[in-house]
Structure 1
Amino acid sequence: MKKFEDLGFSKVDLDREKRTGYPEVIYGEGKTADQIKKIMETLIETHGKAMVTRLSKEKAEVLLAVYPDADYHDVSRILLYGLPRDKYGGDVMVVAAGTSDLPVAEEAAITADWMGCKVNRLYDVGVAGIDRLLAYREDITKASVLIVVAGMEGALPSVIGGMVQRPVIAVPTSVGYGAHLQGLTPLLAMLTSCASGMSVVNIDNGFGAAYQAALILKLANEGVANETALS
């Protein structure tokens, strides 16, 4: 099989699923609807599925006319065609500090689900009202992997990181005022957290957080399968 398909404006990576476990995902911003359509055609022909992130509603309408079986999620701005090949044991909990963080949180949730993870959501539980978070402490501690999304000062991942013995993936968002600096303040706060077991992705990168969470569950499930085969 060819490693990539040269479309002139794009060299579509056909071998990525074999190398990394998941096919190439299309980043929708900066591409025309026609370019996205042609990349989707190539990916669907090879993998039977395709995912487009950061896709405007206007471009989505064009693509849905071509692929009526696709699903467009307005909040996350993700378009999906096809279903995940695998379903992993365990679960990913996506936690958002505030309602304004939902576009990034939903990007993470929709991505993780499409990659084969069971996803639970816990939204609007920021540290300004800590009782809201503590009311769900049992659910939080039972999650296999946590993606924690927060803007403003970015404190929520550190709080959750001190509550659980699970991987915590922190996602800073560009939601906040003035000295929040479009997400730089929560990014630096998360990078300098004293909570162990926490990793950090880039500002507003819900997709990257979900990808990492899916790889963690994929590896854990492969380990269980290997242990079963050896026993």
Structure 2
Amino acid sequence: MTHEDGSLDLNLDLDRRRRLGMVEAVWGADKTVDQIVAAARRLGAAGETLLVTRVDETKAKAVCRQLPTLRYHPQARCITMGGAMTDAPWQRLALLTGGSSDLPVAAEASVALACHGVEAELIADVGVAGLHRLMARLDHLARFPILIVCAGMEGSLATVVAGLLPQPVIAVPVSVGYGVSAGGHVALQGMLASCAPGLCVVNIDNGYGAAMAALRILRRKNTEGQARQADSGG
């Protein structure tokens, strides 16, 4: 249904950046091409960043034909416009995957972070089946304020990382695996049942959700750091 303002049943949250420090992501999987185009135009007119997630290539091409200035990220299945995707990020974190099959979920997280000026360094294919690959990178990983870990199968990489490193670890169960892996449910349950204290877990394949959880932590740390500096007169 199209309303008088051409909104196609969209009621975008243009106040989210002020309230939360993040933009509204448009869920693209269940939206039509016209709805995505309408959202892009509305956000563009408001001077806001566009981030559309879960867009297949066919739908993305149809959208971009109408709005050629949009950018499609095929691995992440995201469409973006505007935002803080620059060469001068205000913060960095590390994004780990158990295997290369986890990369689409990691890419979604990376694009979502980039839209908010956060660079994610990808450290791929360091799953527990070859634990030496992770162990060789521990000193490097210790430098990052937050770690996002994407893993399918049994999902044990997140527990191992959270048991070895002290910073916040956000686990993303991935729907990679067969048989009893059950589309990521075993990875999810394993992460939720982790004995590593303080491991945070988001929903299956929710790279965007992990990115926003990390963004909340980073923004809070940044705000507290600025407040301490102001209190000290620095």
Q: TM-score, normalised by structure 1?
A: 0.92
The 5 Å alignment of 1:83-98 reads: 83-84=83-84, 89-98=90-99
Query: Which one-letter code corresponds to 2:35 in the other structure?
Result: Q
Letter in 1 for 2:217: I
2:30 corresponds to: 30
Contact 1:171 1:204 in 2 (8 A): yes
Q: Report the 3-state secondary structure (helix = DSSP H, G, I; strand = E; otherwise coil) of the residue aligned with 1:221.
A: helix
| CA deviation after TM superposition for structure 1 residue 227, in Å | 1.4
Partner of residue 75, structure 2: 75
Equivalent position of 2:169 in the other structure: 168
**CA distance in 2 between partners of 1:110 and 1:139 (Å):** 22
Deviations 1:24-80 (A, max 9, x none): 110100111111100111112113321100011112112222333322111110111
Q: Please give the per-residue CA displacement for 1:169-205, whole angstroms capped at 9, x wherever unaligned.
A: 0000110011111111110100010111210000000
Partner of 2:106: 105
Deviation digits for residues 76-122 of structure 1 (CA, Å, limit 9, x no counterpart): 10111002299764421100000111110111111112122121110
Superposed, 1:145-184 pairs within 5 Å as: 145-184=146-185
Secondary structure class of the residue paired with 1:11: coil
Q: Are 2:35 and 1:39 equivalent residues in the alignment?
A: no
**Bigger mean CA deviation after superposition, 125-134 or 77-86:** 77-86
Give the match for residue 117 of structure 1.
Answer: 118
Q: Which moved more, 1:15-24 or 1:184-193?
A: 15-24
Q: Does the CA contact (< 8 Å) of 1:88 and 1:221 recur in 2?
A: no
**What is the RMSD computed on CA atoms of the aligned residues?**
1.8
191 and 217 in structure 1: CA distance in 2 versus 1, 3 angstrom threshold? same
Q: Write the distance in 2 (CA, Å) between the matches of 1:70 and 1:36.
A: 11
- 2:85/2:114 contact within 8 Å kept: no
Number of aligned residue pairs: give it: 227
Where does the alignment leave 5 or more consecutive residues of structure 2 unmatched? none
Q: Distance in 2 between matches of 1:190 and 1:6?
A: 44
AA aligned to 1:81 is: M
Instruction: Say if 2:85 and 2:115, in contact at 8 Å, map to a contact too.
Output: no
TM-score (norm 2): 0.91
Matched with 2:65 is: 65
The secondary structure found in structure 2 opposite 1:92 is strand
SS of equivalent residue, structure 2 residue 46: helix
Amino acid corresponding to residue 52 of structure 1 in structure 2:
V
In the alignment, the residues of structure 1 paired with residue 33 and residue 118 of structure 2 have an alpha-carbon distance, to the nearest angstrom, of: 29
CA distance in 1: counterparts of 2:6 and 2:172, whole angstroms: 34
Fraction of identical pairs, as percent: 39
Please say which of residues 12-21 and 105-114 is displaced more in the overlay. Answer: 12-21
Secondary structure (helix, strand or coil) at the match of 1:175 reads coil
Ranges in structure 1 where 5+ consecutive residues have no aligned partner: none
Separation of aligned partners in 1, 2:169 and 2:118: 16
Amino acid at match of 2:109: A
Paired residues of 2:49 and 2:115 also in contact (CA < 8 A): no
Instruction: Determine the structure 2 residue equivalent to 1:191.
Output: 192
Where does structure 1 differ by over 3 angstroms across 4 or more consecutive aligned residues? Answer: 85-90
Aligned partners of 1:180 and 1:85: how far apart in 2?
35
